[in-house]
């Protein structure tokens, strides 16, 4: 356990997908009622809504809109599909601006029909193409390295070192990284690479959950903080030593938790945030 | 596809677990009948058998016994259980000597109740404790880095860089590494780290299979070579550039393939070996 436990909820942000059974209006009301101060909005939660009005609704609940999830999925061996992906990322920037958030998280993508090197080049080209519009909209782009078990089809960026390399190559104040403990906890270079993105002022987001033993599903069996083996307080201490003091975002995909009463689940999240982060 | 396809089966080795429904006697007969020259023996295949006689049976089929799988699983927060693990590894060395193979593959282990750093120290201490007996028996020990999705409970050694670091720290001709494409294909440092273990004369084994999209099971949904996204010919070219020209070992855990007629599956393996390795 951390020597430096979080005593209040001022830095707690919850992702809408964490409480997927709730629509965004229910999520906002329940988060706010329970003293949660941040929300990260998944784009599916905005479907069919006026995005500006939804952003205002969130602010009326005194919620900080920490980020929009997610852009990315740049690589494809078919140039026409890469163009469609870029179009979708442009839309995401507009949605972020309309919503009133300053950050988009990028799940960068990977195409198993081509080499990882090709996918990585297409990711970098895709992000580079977005920078002018991101800058104009005042929205930063966070490269989120994904666990190597997703290298085939979700992200060819699988370590924080790769995300840092790409951020440095792009060399823009509008591009940085998102650190998610689920994807990165196993990496022996994690402390060093967290310090590195801190030095670049590029550490834009910090996501938490836990890794259960055993894990039964590649996507939707994440654990609540404290249920697994990730040294979350240690990683938080590295992130804070690197200068990050923003929201700590709870992002849990879990078929099991989505089956529960979400009000009770939210109480578990709050308790775990204070005890195990 | 490789410019340098394998034209015969002289370097093909199959792991007994790949054709798990067969007992070792059936596996040996079928491998030999089909012109396969190498076998790697999983210890469960030896249960209830006289190991020396089994080794002789394999040699009578003109099969090279490439390695014994597997030792390892060193870490445990309980010292008594670490002692039990060491005892089991001593038995594995005796079994390897009795069988007549010169190599044991180590799946190093990890204990989710303690830090990865502690698990790694216990792995290194465990291997160090085995070196005198390995040397006396003429059996080498290959550290196999496992995919990061197994960092919680199967191996705290998750990249070839880590395996190379540990091999160099142990500094013994009796310790090297095993390169398995399934575990390592995603790693942007793979070519460099393969060259590094080659320079150290520490590249002791090369395992192949494929990564399917999607993959449905954390353990037993490996693909046949050519079915997935791993650039096997490219990785083989790196391994050979590093000086390795030993057996290429087909290690496939697959609930689907284990349900098939194993004779037909073996034909698929042979075809895939010539076409996609």
Check residue B3 and give its pLDDT: 58
- So what CATH class is A12-270? alpha beta
Contact B218, B175 (CB under 8 A): no
Distance (Å, rounded) from C-alpha A205 to C-alpha A222?
19
According to the model, what pLDDT value does residue B1 have?
44
Task: Quick: pLDDT tens for A144-162.
Answer: 999 999 999 999 999 999 9
Averaged pLDDT for residues A247-266: 98
* A-chain residue closest to B116, CA distance: A186
Q: Does B149 contact A147 at a Cβ distance shorter than 8 Å?
A: yes
Predicted pLDDT at A217: 96
CB within 8 Å of chain B, chain A residues 48-87: none
**In terms of DSSP H, where are the helices of chain B?**
24-33, 51-60, 79-99, 116-137, 160-170, 181-184, 190-199, 232-241, 255-259, 262-276
b (16+ CB within 10 A) / e for A23-53: ebeebbebbbeeebbbbbbbbebbeeeebee
pLDDT band at A4 (very low <50, low <70, confident <90, very high): confident
Q: What is the pLDDT of residues B4-20, one digit of tens each?
A: 889 899 999 999 999 99
Encode pLDDT of A22-70 as tens digits.
Answer: 999 999 999 999 999 999 999 999 999 999 999 999 999 999 999 999 9
Give me the pLDDT at residue B5, please. 85
Domain residue limits, chain B? 12-276
DSSP lists the bridge partners of residue B13 as B38, B249
Q: Which residue in A151, A188, A218 is closest to B162 by CB distance?
A: A188
B147 closest CB neighbour out of A148, A185, A228: A148
Instruction: Please check the confidence at residue B40 and state whether its pLDDT lies above 50.
Output: yes
Predicted local distance difference test score (pLDDT) of residue A5: 85
Q: Is B42 helix (H, G, I), strand (E, B) or coil?
A: strand
CA angle B237, B239, B134 (to 5 degrees): 160
- Nearest CA-CA partner of B216 in A218, A233, A222: A218
Average pLDDT, chain A: 97
- ipTM confidence score: 0.96
Using left for φ > 0, alpha for ψ between -120 and 50, and beta otherwise, residue B75 falls in beta
Give the up-direction half-sphere exposure of residue B43: CA atoms within 13 A in the CB hemisphere. 19
Cα–Cα dist B205/B246, whole Å: 7
Residues B240-267 pLDDT 10s: 999 999 999 999 999 999 999 999 999 9
Q: What is the CATH number of domain B12-276?
A: 3.20.20.150
The CA distance from B50 to the nearest CA of chain A, in Å, is 35
Residues of chain B positioned with their CB less than 8 A from the CB of A153: 213-214
Report the predicted TM-score, pTM, of the whole model to 2 decimal places: 0.97
In this structure, chain B runs to a length of: 277
Model confidence band, residue A3 (pLDDT cutoffs 50, 70, 90): low
The reported pLDDT for the residue numbered A2 is 47
Report, as an integer, the average pLDDT of B153-163: 98
Per-residue pLDDT of A226-248, as tens digits, reads 999 999 999 999 999 999 999 99
């Amino acid at each position: 356990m951390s020597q430096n436990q979080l005593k209040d909820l001022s830095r707690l942000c919850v992702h809408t997908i964490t409480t997927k059974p709730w629509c965004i209006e229910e999520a906002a009301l329940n988060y706010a009622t329970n003293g949660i101060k941040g929300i990260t909005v998944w784009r599916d939660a905005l479907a069919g809504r006026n995005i500006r009005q939804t952003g205002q609704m969130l602010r009326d609940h005194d919620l900080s809109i920490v980020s929009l999830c997610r852009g990315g999925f740049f690589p494809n061996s078919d140039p026409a599909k890469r163009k469609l992906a870029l179009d979708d990322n442009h839309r995401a920037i507009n949605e972020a601006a309309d919503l009133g958030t300053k950050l988009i998280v990028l799940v960068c993508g990977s195409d198993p029909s081509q080499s990882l090197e090709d996918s990585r080049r297409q990711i970098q080209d895709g992000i580079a193409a977005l920078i002018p519009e991101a800058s104009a909209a005042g929205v930063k782009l966070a490269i989120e390295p994904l666990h190597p078990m997703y290298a085939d089809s979700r992200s060819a960026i699988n370590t924080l070192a790769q995300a840092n390399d790409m951020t440095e190559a792009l060399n823009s104040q509008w591009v940085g990284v998102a650190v998610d403990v689920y994807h990165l906890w196993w990496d022996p270079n994690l402390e060093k690479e967290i310090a590195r993105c801190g030095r670049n002022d590029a550490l834009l987001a910090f996501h938490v959950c836990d890794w259960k033993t055993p894990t039964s599903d590649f996507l939707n069996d994440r654990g609540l903080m404290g249920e697994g083996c990730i040294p979350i307080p240690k990683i938080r201490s590295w992130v804070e030593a690197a200068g990050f003091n923003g929201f700590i975002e709870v992002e849990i995909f879990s078929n099991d938790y989505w089956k529960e009463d979400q009000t009770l689940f939210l109480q578990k999240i709050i308790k775990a945030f204070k005890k195990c982060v």
